Amino acid sequence: MSTLRKLEIEQVSPRLLEVLRREGLTSLTPFQSAAVDGGILRGESQILQTYDYEEAYQIAEISLLNRVASDFKTRALVLCPNPHQAEKRFHSLSYRCNRLGIEATAIIRRRTAIGDAWKGGRVIVATFRSLDIALRVHPDAFEGIECLLTDRLDLIGQPRLGAKLETVLVTLMGMNTELQHVVVSPPVADVEDLSSWLGARIVEDTKTDMKRIFSVKAFESVNESLADLTEFVQYRRGQVAILCSNIHACEELAAQLTGMSDASKESSLDLRLTPEHRDDLGHLSRDIMGRYSECETSVMLGRTVSRGVAFIHEGIARSQRRIISGAWEDGLMPVIIMPTRFAIASGLRATVVFLIGVFMQDLVGDLADKEELTQLSEWQLSDVLSSIGKRGVDNEAFGIVVVGTQTERHRVLARYFVEDSEGNISPRLGEVDSSMDNPENAQDLVLRQLCSDHTKEEDPFSILDRTFWAATNRVTQISRDGLMLADDADVEALISLRSTKSTATRAREIPDEDVRLVSINPNKIEGLVHSRSRDLWHHVVVRAGEGVSCTCESWKYQGIRKHRLCKHLVRFANFALQNDETKPYAASVIRQSLRGLEILGELERAGLMQPDGKGFRCTKLGRSVTVLGVSVSDSKRVNKALGHAGNKLATILIDVAVARTGMPRKAIAGVLDAVQTRDMEKVVKCEQHGPGIVENCLEELHYINSILVGIMGGKAGKELKREIRKLDKNLVATLDAFS
């Protein structure tokens, strides 16, 4: 059946049909047809599960536009993970909306979010972070949203970004219980839980039009081996993406592969580029170096691009990232190198993806030159390796994890991959692991609910009931005393709250003979758990007053930061509950070591709320913290900065910016000093950090400065208000100069 006929049967808006006809849309794919048959055009919520995000987004956008075009009162929202994706989606949507007579607006940057130019849009495109700000500053502006298109729902499992996404979804769900969810997501292990949470039907893409091959390689000389494999792929006209742990590793590898460093020349690439290709790369290089031309990062990027290798990360300017992304999608750039954290949700696909190790560094630690690393979760590794292959371009695609030793190779295979009956391996599907049990995230939600002008009669804890974490873990109440489970829950249920399903499965595979008891008392239980993959014993401790610990890498590099137990702790806790010696104390010790979230107590001690009769009310500081988006743990620093009338504006801005972002104080202070003194040359040179970090600091400072007068009230004297207005002009002028 032709596209138009199938859509006509579904009573799609005639104006939208005409727009699609003029664009040359002639047929729906089987996957898109399945979504239509499932009622996506009739207001049914759906999870479109596929690795072909563009195909899924196309039918999702058609359903959204049809709903808006069919009812002049309806408004819709499109959520994207990053500004680049949001700009692409807005370009597509705004063209179609213009043809349909529908106003489309975008909330992509912080300064857009705090303004009101986007409020008139019936279709709004926003990033997760920008919409979070807009909901804090303009909660009234989202009345009438009836359709929500979420691009990459699985990113709920991503640290920081995932909390923003879940917060936004929970807030919007509270505004409209009949909200239609149209979701684009790759396959995940707990898609059924997501489906139940959103009340959405799962539509799965079953086609296999590309051969995907995965492997784990152990190389003695990683760079030389990468050079050989990359040259082979390029000769076959493929594109290669290399993922490293941090910014320094990316830039160093780019210099080595292009022969710009003093390292062995054997690790440099010979891409055998044609003269025409070299000319195109030369034009691209000059275009990149034309922006922030005095910045060392820009100069180096321009030189590597001219040799066919680009590196991209948060330190690269927005305009430069757009150029590189466009060249990559057009097939002009042969090799791209980026941090693993940046690759997650970047939307960039490659013929071959090389993942260098299974550890990465977060942005804050990277900028502060800290050596703290985080081990990739199963979901994160699956996400980056599943970005292989461009449909319609590649017949085969390869995802390769590169490690240094055979021992590490066997360990990676055992943890992250599954093997089919024919011996082929593929990444283990990870779980979307919500971070809403992180105290700061839960407290932020409760405080927002408490300080809202629209939910005076609603229990502030009711917002937590709508979270994905609460829905999947049988949580019935979170209160001042802590976390309450369902009536039939026991200590084992509490253990499951702090571990993923895959971790619990691997824990059950550890035999009894691999668990040993070392010591026991009413407050602490110690033991050993044997790791057969590494042939060593891990020391595990469960303490009533201090929590839990394990000597394994999973706990050190991942669990301790994400409040997630490793398999050794899960196995030992269950062992302690069954062992005759430990049984009398185990339940009590485990309950106290895995103590629940304390919400109201922390908020009250921080001065963000106070008792009011039988309930509680939000304080002025609580409202300020809510609008600023500062965590409860940092609220004291913010209170100190805002509470002293004698504080200089620079001190207030820097303190709040550091509390909000965790970025190095030196970086923020340097940018602010350059703006205040109008030293544009210092801003352009970006000596300490790349231009992308400078732009991020500028936007953060502008956001805080814009709402400072309102939250300080009478404490902001005439002189301070004049200084704020002056700085606002300088910040806007600087941002406009580099946007």
What torsion, rounded to 10 degrees, do the Cα atoms 561, 562, 566, 570 define? 120
What residues form DSSP beta bridges with 49? 185, 204
39: left (phi over 0), alpha (psi -120 to 50) or beta: left
- Provide the β-strand partners of residue 242: 337, 354
Report helix, strand or coil for 182.
strand
- The per-residue pLDDT for 716 is 60
Give the Å distances, CA to CA, from 640 to 279, 607, 634.
57, 12, 10
User: What is the enclosing helix (H) or strand (E) of 699?
Assistant: helix 691-712
3-state secondary structure 208-234: CCCEEEEEEEECCCHHHHHHHHHHHHH
Long-range contacts of residues 5-13, Cβ cutoff 8 Å, at least 24 apart: 6/33, 6/36, 7/36, 7/41, 7/62, 10/36, 10/41, 10/42, 11/41, 12/41, 12/62, 12/66, 13/65, 13/66, 13/69, 13/70, 13/100
Q: Where are the beta strands (DSSP E) in 55-137?
A: 75-80, 104-107, 123-127
pLDDT, position 480: 45
- Which residue reads 């943890």 in tokens? 415
- Report pLDDT for 1: 46
Average pLDDT per run of 10 along the chain, which is 739 residues long?
69 86 85 92 93 91 92 92 91 91 92 88 94 88 91 87 91 86 92 92 85 88 68 74 92 88 70 90 92 84 93 90 91 93 86 92 81 85 88 84 90 91 88 79 82 64 79 54 45 77 87 91 90 85 80 69 77 90 86 65 74 75 77 66 68 83 83 78 64 86 79 66 84 77
What pLDDT is stored for residue 487 in this prediction? 38
**Distance (Å, rounded) from C-alpha 88 to C-alpha 338?**
20
Q: What is the pTM of this model?
A: 0.84
**pLDDT score, position 64:** 94
